[in-house]
């Protein structure tokens, strides 16, 4: 399967980091460290004129939201990075990408009126590439954006991206939702599920900025592009707002997020999710889950053989590796769950105590 570069969208005096993501028709997923691919392909609708969006015009969306969109400068010992973000609440919390603020020794926020204010890091979550900072700014400058429900987003919906590509603050672009249920690879190589794909132009410096729906609500946080050239090729990805809401709430409360962890790599097969690797010392290893010992070719495709195929998780059928991954993420570290596997011709149910995902 061909790998293409997917770039994190930080701009400034640091080079863009590269992450691999595949766009083949055969999907697979991981729960342990590793590169991930698309969950599934979704047909894109024909591009529509972008002068207006369903609901508000692009100009109206800009007027309603631009005062809540900010530019973030992160200073470090080696270089300076620049990205985007948006005001989350009246307390001065600002949401951005983890890769924008990673390693920063100083943070500042540039508002729409040209004023710059210092900020401090509240917390980051490398597994979802989200971060929260708190800016020391006058209350009058804090104009929080509304979070929408990414679960209601449909392919073909018109969207607006805002941010500071290449340091050009207050930039607005528009397009459509090109596909749903994509997987991005987070900075720590874990997958980010249900990412939103858009053809709205996003470039280096757009990282952390909002992807808005036709009512001016945040339905995603712009994070990566897929590009042969390193610039905008019309394929961008945003972290869905449902993930943002959950993660940001935890970061504000405690400064960190803990994710449930099983410790396997897997591949979709007809019956469920075939285990291709069990990471030593993980809950999966402790519970006795078995990885594949070989492969066979079926219809021209290699499939794992000789290991467990997970067909149910805590009583619910598992239709794919992505479904299993989502089920694990819905749990908490320390939860005890049942996992039913096909082991040869036998169905076996094991009890597993989930661990904490390594950072």
| In the chain, domain spans | 1-257, 260-356
Topology match between the domains 1-257 and 260-356: no
How far apart are the C-alpha atoms of 137 and 70, rounded to whole Å? Answer: 12
User: Is the confidence at residue 270, as pLDDT, over 70?
Assistant: yes
Backbone φ/ψ region at 309: left (φ over 0), alpha (ψ -120 to 50), beta: beta
| Homologous superfamily (CATH) for 260-356 | PDZ domain (2.30.42.10)
SS3 111: coil
Active site residues: 99, 129, 207
User: Is the confidence at residue 17, as pLDDT, over 50?
Assistant: no
Spatial neighbors of 292 by CB under 8 A, at least 6 apart, are: 274, 275, 276, 304, 305, 306, 307
Confidence at residue 34, expressed as pLDDT on a 0 to 100 scale: 33
Q: What is the pTM of this model?
A: 0.81
User: Is the confidence at residue 25, as pLDDT, over 70?
Assistant: no
CB-count exposure of residue 344 (10 Å: 0-12, 13-18, 19+): exposed
Averaged pLDDT of the chain:
86
Confidence of residue 10 (pLDDT cuts 50, 70, 90): low
Task: Write out the H or E segment, with its range, that includes residue 246.
Answer: helix 241-254
Strand partners, 274: 267, 309
Domain 1-257 carries which CATH code? 2.40.10.120
Confidence at residue 7, expressed as pLDDT on a 0 to 100 scale: 64
CB-count exposure of residue 332 (10 Å: 0-12, 13-18, 19+): exposed
Confidence at residue 300, expressed as pLDDT on a 0 to 100 scale: 85
Are 268 and 27 in contact by the 8 Å Cβ rule? The answer is yes
How far apart are the C-alpha atoms of 176 and 117, rounded to whole Å? Answer: 33
């Amino acid at each position: 399967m061909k790998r293409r570069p997917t770039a994190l969208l930080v701009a400034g005096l640091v080079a863009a980091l590269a992450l691999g993501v595949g766009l083949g028709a055969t999907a697979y997923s991981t729960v342990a460290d590793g590169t991930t691919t698309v969950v599934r392909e979704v047909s894109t609708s024909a591009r529509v004129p972008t002068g207006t969006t369903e609901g508000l015009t692009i100009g109206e969306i800009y007027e309603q939201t631009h005062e809540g969109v900010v530019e973030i400068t992160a200073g470090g010992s080696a270089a300076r990075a620049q990205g985007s973000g948006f005001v989350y609440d009246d307390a001065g919390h600002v949401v951005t990408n983890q890769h924008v603020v990673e390693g920063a020794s100083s943070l500042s926020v540039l508002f729409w009126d040209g004023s710059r204010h210092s900020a401090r890091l509240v917390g980051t979550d490398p597994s979802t590439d989200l971060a929260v900072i708190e800016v020391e700014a006058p209350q009058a400058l804090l104009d929080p954006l509304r979070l929408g429900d990414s679960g209601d987003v449909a392919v073909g919906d018109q969207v607006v991206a805002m941010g500071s590509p290449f340091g050009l603050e207050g930039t607005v672009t528009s397009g459509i939702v090109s596909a749903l249920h994509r997987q991005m690879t987070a900075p720590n190589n874990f997958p980010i599920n249900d990412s939103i794909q858009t053809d709205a132009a996003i470039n280096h410096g757009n990282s952390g900025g909002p992807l808005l729906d036709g009512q001016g609500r945040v339905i995603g946080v712009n994070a990566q592009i897929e590009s042969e050239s390193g610039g905008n090729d019309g394929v961008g990805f945003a972290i869905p707002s449902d993930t943002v809401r959950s993660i940001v709430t935890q970061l504000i409360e405690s400064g960190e997020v803990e994710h449930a962890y099983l410790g396997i790599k897997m591949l979709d097969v007809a019956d469920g999710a075939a285990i291709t690797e069990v990471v030593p010392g993980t809950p999966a290893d402790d519970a006795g889950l078995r990885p594949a010992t070989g492969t066979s070719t079926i219809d021209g495709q290699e499939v794992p053989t000789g290991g467990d195929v997970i067909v149910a998780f805590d009583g619910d059928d598992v239709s794919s590796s992505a479904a299993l991954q989502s089920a694990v993420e819905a749990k908490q570290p320390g939860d005890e769950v049942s996992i039913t596997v096909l082991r040869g011709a036998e169905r076996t149910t094991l009890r597993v105590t989930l661990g904490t995902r390594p950072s």
